[in-house]
Structure 1
Amino acid sequence: PVHDDDDDDDDALITDAITGKRYRALRHEEAESLSDHLLSLWMRAGPGRGAELPVDSYKESVLEAVRASQVVVMVVITGCGKTTRIPRFLLEGQVRRVRRAECNILVTQPRRISAVSVAHRVAQEMGPALRHCVGYQVRLESRPPERSGGALLFLTVGVLLRKLQSNPGLQGISHVIVDEVHERDVNTDLLLALLLSSIKNNPDLRVLLMSATGDTQRLSQYFGGCPVVHVPGFMHPVQARFLEEVLTEMGRPTPPRRDREEEKEVAPDLDLVADVIDHIHSNREPGKDAFRADRRGRAGRCQPGHSYHLFPRKQLDRMAVFPVPEILRTPLESVIIQAKIHCPHSKAVDFLAQVLDSPDSQVVRVAVKSLMDIGVLDAAENLTPLGERVACMSCDPRLGKALVLSALFSCVLPVLSVAACLTRDPFYNSMQNRALVSKAKAALSGSSCSDHLVFSRVVQSWKELQGRESKQEFLDQYTLSGASLRFIHGLMQQFGENLCEAGLLDASAECLRLSSGLNQHSQQEQLVKAVLIAGLYPHLIQVKRGTVTKGGRYRPENLSYRTESGPVLLHRSSANRGNPDLSSRWLTFFSAVKSNGQVFIRDSSVVHPLALLLLTDCDLSERGNARPNHSVLLPGHSLIRWEFSPHVWELLWDLRTSLQAMIHRSLRRCDRRSTSGGCKDSELVALLVELLNNTDPEPGSDQEEFSTENIRSDRL
């Protein structure tokens, strides 16, 4: 493909999946010229292959299978060289045949590190003259081939899903290789469903599904009974050790037997894992076992090896032959948004019914309802203006909503930090240093009562420090990971670019500068937490003082925590755990985990009750009573009740209506240059900041009403 800014044909709307530029099909004379150039280049370079691998002797069989069928499932034994050699077989086979210029191959990898390392390996084997034909594209990093035509691009599944948004038929691509398809993560299952559509719309496209194991016959049936090709490999003998043998070898007593239910729920003993690694390092022969003991599939690739399994041998027989696909055990909100991007006119239930292992329809409906509750989908399951912006964000929809709102309320930087840190923890969290991390979080949280502001303070402080020594001292003081913080910074850059794609920013670099207008209110921590509750709602916790023990004793100093779904506990990783001086009776949170029948909240922030009233999308109902005040309730949310004088309630209602109108108005416009609401919007945000900063969020009453006696009407 070539790129011509003056070309206005339909293909100009399609993005080249290799280069990311605008796509246009090659004209006949261009294809001829490029084909001749590629052939002469390959003939002169005569690229070598390096060491002989088992798959090399099956080159012609692989090429013939792919030529004969649009989709091929290939079962290739681990260690035979499938990942590095088969893509090259296809590229070289096409370049030496007639359709050279049309040959562009995408190879997906489940992890970014494998995509990068395999691309480097293949480029090195092809030599200096052809290295420019090979590239990679992963999250936060991209080095594509110099141009389309005779190109090979390694990429993660998530990146290919994004490419399908702007090129659903994969025009200009000759082959897609989905490697490690047996891992069955959510993105891979979504990709397979979309490739079914792509091959119908693009009959020249060839799809090769490579699996080391797994239920390959089901894959074949999914693609209309496509052929399954077996390529044998060779594995050196591997000696397997299970928990009993491992403990005996280390001179430790064998643990007591557990019943089946206990075996399912038992968590991995991280101390034992560390001790086993140390044992292998100290006692096994050098070279033979280094990284030849992480699992059986790796241990015998190059020489005889050992595999260590930290569960009893009998438990192996009770394990499932194939793992449960991720799509059947994970929240579906992000998947549904992806489905709406690719197939906007399909109902979520109908689209997900087409994947290889369809989730239960009721689970899908619950996820759809959740997206409707946060304003991402409307009643007809269409993306709302908010949903269209959230769909641009490469993160959880609730975090995406918070990021979108942060642009409207000019507090982008701290919310970027929070979203990135909730994706990658900046702390060295382990069983050994848990106490140190808790102490560090408590110091960083201060009076904010917020895990999320801890993240923001960590990122901003680390960025402001100059010099390697001062940065390292900061990392050591607060038990932080420099590698994680660098990755977090990259995520923040990506989320900033997402905000640009959503039309909310002019330049992504501006959102990372604290002095930017986009961060005018980034130092207003009450507002930042208000934006978080606006994004994360209905993730809300009510805090009550006083608990009753199982023995019936009342403990007035203890705190209890409750969501609409029932009681919860704060996880030990939260800075708010054990804090008796929370400044409000309301907390918001992002993630929760269930363990041993209890729900633990991993992160939380105290939020001002007025932030909940003014910035969430909740429905309100007013109820008069005998007293001069009015009660305001959230239907379906029995935790929440306010009591206001009629005059104050009227003023707050006007402010709430104005703020929501400002949000809706901004989201309906196309780009940041036209979303400025001028003085009116700025005054609204400034008024909200003043209100949050100058009203008491915790009047000290044991009742569940929020007092507004200290709100002056002139401030509203």
Structure 2
Amino acid sequence: MLEFQTPELLRMPLQELCLHTKLLAPINCSVVDFLMKAPDPPPALIVKNALQMLKTIDAMDPWEDLTELGYHLTELPVEPHLGKMVLCAVVLKCLDPVLTIACALACQDPFVLPTLASQKRAAMLCRKRFTAGTFSDHMVLLRAFQAWQKARSDGWERAFCEKNFLSQATMEIIVGMRTQLLGQLRASGFVRARGGADIRDVNANSENWAVVKAALVAGMYPNLVHVNRESLVLTAPKEKKVRFHPTSVLSQPQYKKIPPVNGQTAAVQALPTDWLIYDEMTRAHRIANIRCCSVVTPITVALFCGPARLPSNALQASSSCQGDRVSSDSSDSEMEDRTTSNVSLLKLDEWLHLKLDSEV
């Protein structure tokens, strides 16, 4: 047992720490140098990785100065990528569902993991019932919370949690976080009491799942994986093979009676699109697993991934992109034998390349 508790500096999320450090550090002192002055500083390499991620999501510019988005993110009581997701939801007018999803992701998994094998199967079936055919763990979180809210209004929330393998305490925490986050959005002026940007206006598209996923994609970037249809595996920028975490509803195919050995392959084959977002990637025995995933369309990836301002050479004309390796076709055209001379290449980052119809 440790004689002293681990310092909070080493326990809090580093991206959030770096944002607030930038507000406190002197102008001529970098975030890394400032944090290294602490009695128990976090490793410098991990801090640099966190800073790079903040630059990737446009919270910091290349010189480590906070952007306008970065300043807004420092005011929100969630991790930066979740805060960006919520702010995008305000712009896209789908705040309520994204608020729920962001708060659920900020907490521990609200679903309880049973120990008995029979209960594990029942728990997975409960998760699947909340998917509504969307191939989305985020939808599971949203619908589970909405159903719990209704059960609470009817006075049987505890029985509901027991029936659906949910943690009552976690659901209450999500409620508290939603209230706190919405209050901060009101204080910052993103949600107003009346008129434009009032609570009704910022939820005009809350029933449109495609719009909700657009906000999720904007917040989750660069947590993106691609489906290789030839080998039926998931690939990421630094991972040649990624698997679904066993708790994901996407880890099992949508149909039954599939051999367990081929479960992951069948699950990948059943995916309706070639792109997925995820909340967290973990590693166990050299295998990368992704948690909380949702399938997204190529057009959503093209519109909501990458930096806010693309470089001038991001879109390459057809003549200059011949022979380049691309990640996926963004068009569902039936003309599969179209030559590369009829497509343009959109480079959103070093890994995320999309082929576009030149006429678009």
Q: TM-score range by the shorter chain?
A: 0.7 to 0.9
Structure 1 segment 91-240 matched on structure 2, within 5 A: 182-186=4-8, 189=9
Which of 332, 338, 351 does residue 34 from structure 2 map onto? Answer: 351
Which of 363, 375, 379 does residue 46 from structure 2 map onto? Answer: 363
| Alignment match, 1:563 | 236
- Provide the secondary structure at the position in 1 that maps to 2:249: coil
Query: How far did 1:421 drift?
Result: 1.2
Which of 250, 270, 286 does residue 576 from structure 1 map onto? Answer: 250
Which of 268, 271, 289 does residue 600 from structure 1 map onto? Answer: 289
- Provide the secondary structure at the position in 2 that maps to 1:445: coil
Contact 1:451–1:574 under 8 Å retained in 2: yes
Query: How far did 1:357 drift?
Result: 2.1
Which of 118, 127, 131 does residue 441 from structure 1 map onto? Answer: 127
- Provide the secondary structure at the position in 2 that maps to 1:591: strand
Query: How far did 1:512 drift?
Result: 11
| Alignment match, 2:89 | 406
**Are positions 1:634 and 2:316 aligned together?**
no
| Aligned counterparts of 1:583 and 1:454: Cα–Cα separation in 2 | 18
| Aligned counterparts of 1:384 and 1:638: Cα–Cα separation in 2 | 24
Which of 204, 213, 230 does residue 520 from structure 1 map onto? Answer: 204
1:394 to 1:438, Cα distance in 2 relative to 1, 3 A: same
What do the CA deviations read for 1:526-559 (whole angstroms, capped 9, x no partner)? 1111111111101100012354xxxxxxxxxxx3
Query: How far did 1:497 drift?
Result: 1.8
| Aligned counterparts of 1:563 and 1:544: Cα–Cα separation in 2 | 10
Query: How far did 1:442 drift?
Result: 1.2
Contact 1:530–1:608 under 8 Å retained in 2: no
| Aligned counterparts of 1:331 and 1:461: Cα–Cα separation in 2 | 30
| Alignment match, 1:452 | 138
| Alignment match, 2:14 | 332
Query: How far did 1:636 drift?
Result: 4.5
Structure 2 unaligned segments of length 5 or more: list them: 254-266, 320-338
| Alignment match, 1:342 | 24
1:523 to 1:351, Cα distance in 2 relative to 1, 3 A: same
| Aligned counterparts of 1:401 and 1:387: Cα–Cα separation in 2 | 9
Partner amino acid, structure 2, of 1:568: V
Contact 2:226–2:275 under 8 Å retained in 1: yes
| Aligned counterparts of 1:633 and 1:541: Cα–Cα separation in 2 | 17
Query: How far did 1:635 drift?
Result: 5.7
Structure 1 unaligned segments of length 5 or more: list them: 1-179, 190-325, 548-558, 649-716
**Are positions 1:622 and 2:316 aligned together?**
yes
| Alignment match, 2:154 | 467
Contact 2:25–2:31 under 8 Å retained in 1: no
| Alignment match, 2:57 | 374
| Alignment match, 2:170 | 484
Query: How far did 1:617 drift?
Result: 3.1
| Aligned counterparts of 1:497 and 1:597: Cα–Cα separation in 2 | 42
Query: How far did 1:601 drift?
Result: 0.7
| Aligned counterparts of 1:635 and 1:403: Cα–Cα separation in 2 | 22
1:420 to 1:401, Cα distance in 2 relative to 1, 3 A: same
Structure 1 segment 265-344 matched on structure 2, within 5 A: 326=10, 332-343=14-25
Contact 1:511–1:519 under 8 Å retained in 2: no
| Aligned counterparts of 1:487 and 1:578: Cα–Cα separation in 2 | 29
| Aligned counterparts of 2:207 and 2:191: Cα–Cα separation in 1 | 20
User: Structure with the greater relative contact order (CA < 8 A, sep ≥ 6): 1 or 2?
Assistant: 2
Contact 2:192–2:198 under 8 Å retained in 1: no
Query: How far did 1:387 drift?
Result: 0.7
Query: How far did 1:416 drift?
Result: 1.1
Partner amino acid, structure 2, of 1:479: F
What do the CA deviations read for 1:55-84 (whole angstroms, capped 9, x no partner)? xxxxxxxxxxxxxxxxxxxxxxxxxxxxxx
Q: TM-score, normalization: structure 1? A: 0.41
Query: How far did 1:633 drift?
Result: 3.2
1:604 to 1:512, Cα distance in 2 relative to 1, 3 A: farther
Partner amino acid, structure 2, of 1:539: N
Contact 2:14–2:50 under 8 Å retained in 1: yes
Larger Rg: 1
- Provide the secondary structure at the position in 2 that maps to 1:543: strand
- Provide the secondary structure at the position in 2 that maps to 1:365: helix
| Aligned counterparts of 1:594 and 1:453: Cα–Cα separation in 2 | 24
- Provide the secondary structure at the position in 1 that maps to 2:300: helix
Partner amino acid, structure 1, of 2:353: I
- Provide the secondary structure at the position in 1 that maps to 2:45: helix
Contact 1:632–1:642 under 8 Å retained in 2: yes
| Aligned counterparts of 1:540 and 1:492: Cα–Cα separation in 2 | 26
| Aligned counterparts of 1:454 and 1:439: Cα–Cα separation in 2 | 11
| Aligned counterparts of 1:637 and 1:578: Cα–Cα separation in 2 | 31
Contact 2:191–2:198 under 8 Å retained in 1: no
What do the CA deviations read for 1:161-211 (whole angstroms, capped 9, x no partner)? xxxxxxxxxxxxxxxxxxx9931233xx4xxxxxxxxxxxxxxxxxxxxxx
1:578 to 1:478, Cα distance in 2 relative to 1, 3 A: same
- Provide the secondary structure at the position in 1 that maps to 2:161: helix
Q: TM-score, normalization: structure 2? A: 0.79
**Are positions 1:383 and 2:69 aligned together?**
no
| Alignment match, 1:588 | 277
Query: How far did 1:428 drift?
Result: 1.6
Query: How far did 1:459 drift?
Result: 1.4
1:356 to 1:496, Cα distance in 2 relative to 1, 3 A: same
| Aligned counterparts of 1:359 and 1:541: Cα–Cα separation in 2 | 29
1:458 to 1:492, Cα distance in 2 relative to 1, 3 A: same
Partner amino acid, structure 1, of 2:20: Q
| Alignment match, 1:544 | 228
Which of 92, 114, 119 does residue 430 from structure 1 map onto? Answer: 114
| Aligned counterparts of 2:230 and 2:126: Cα–Cα separation in 1 | 28
Contact 1:630–1:643 under 8 Å retained in 2: yes
| Aligned counterparts of 2:69 and 2:121: Cα–Cα separation in 1 | 41
- Count of residues in correspondence between the two structures: 313
- Provide the secondary structure at the position in 1 that maps to 2:77: coil
| Aligned counterparts of 1:338 and 1:537: Cα–Cα separation in 2 | 21
1:545 to 1:628, Cα distance in 2 relative to 1, 3 A: closer
Query: How far did 1:477 drift?
Result: 3.5
